[in-house]
Amino acid sequence: MLLSNRVAIITGGARGIGKGIALKFAEEGCSVVITDLLLEEAKRTVEEILKKGRDALFIPCDVSAGRQVQEMVAQVIRKFGKIDILVNNAGIGGVPKSILDVSEEEWDKLLSINLKGVFLCCRAVVPHMKEKRYGKIVNMSSMGAIAPPTPNINYSAAKAGVLGMTLDLALELAPFNICVNAILPGAIPTDMWNPLLPPGINKEDFFAEVGKSVAPMQRVGTPEEVAGAALFLASDLSSYVTGDRILVGGGAPLVARLK
């Protein structure tokens, strides 16, 4: 197994991409800590992991609140004694808008979770990883960071910031054998897409059209496919990979060149 005896924190692990990663890691022998504010869904995901015979723990945590993040990490250390892997997956989306329609409150809320939350979680786990001289940090960015499909300035800015943070941390932490990389998912149907669904449109038909319009592979992806990339970056298969990014988008943004 690729993650035997490893301990991973997965933020936003209750559902969607985070849940896919949590289940994949558990299948590979990892003990998984899920942090989220979706209490019931997180508990169900933990139950699925426990049924696989792996250790799992749910800790409610708002990643934009520094004290909560520090206490969450302290709980993980008390239970497992170490943190090998951090997957910064927690995030919120939003309805695409012109810059003129984005309020200051909307800007602050999204960046506090999608960007500040990554900073706070990294800052909390890095001392423990440095002490062990081992660590894997996987930051969830987005295709929107490099090729926004629609105007969505606060989301795109936050996810671009995650890329910049990834590069900076990779440089700082490389001497400590800590690898820091990013994943850029493309169109992956999750609950984050719900505000974008046109009324009266069948969800499967909608995503079929989305896949044809944004991905050269002519389909949308799955959380399990993102989880495969996360597994590579979290395992020792990527022991000499840091400061890099993996696009999981069925060939996007190459679609722009095909039109």
* Best CA proximity match to 36, nearest among 117, 108, 127: 117
Burial of 124 (0-12, 13-18, 19+ CB in 10 A): buried
CA 200, 203, 208, 213 torsion-angle sign: positive
- Torsion angles phi and psi, residue 16, rounded to 5: 65, -140
DSSP per residue, 224-242: HHHHHHHHHHHSGGGTT--
Catalytic annotation on 240? no
3-class secondary structure, 4: coil
121, containing H or E segment: helix 117-132
3-class secondary structure, 31: strand
Q: Which of 58, 119, 155, 207 is catalytic?
A: 155
129, containing H or E segment: helix 117-132
* Best CA proximity match to 215, nearest among 244, 153, 184, 258: 258
* Best CA proximity match to 19, nearest among 46, 37, 39, 50: 46
- Residues with a catalytic annotation lie at 155
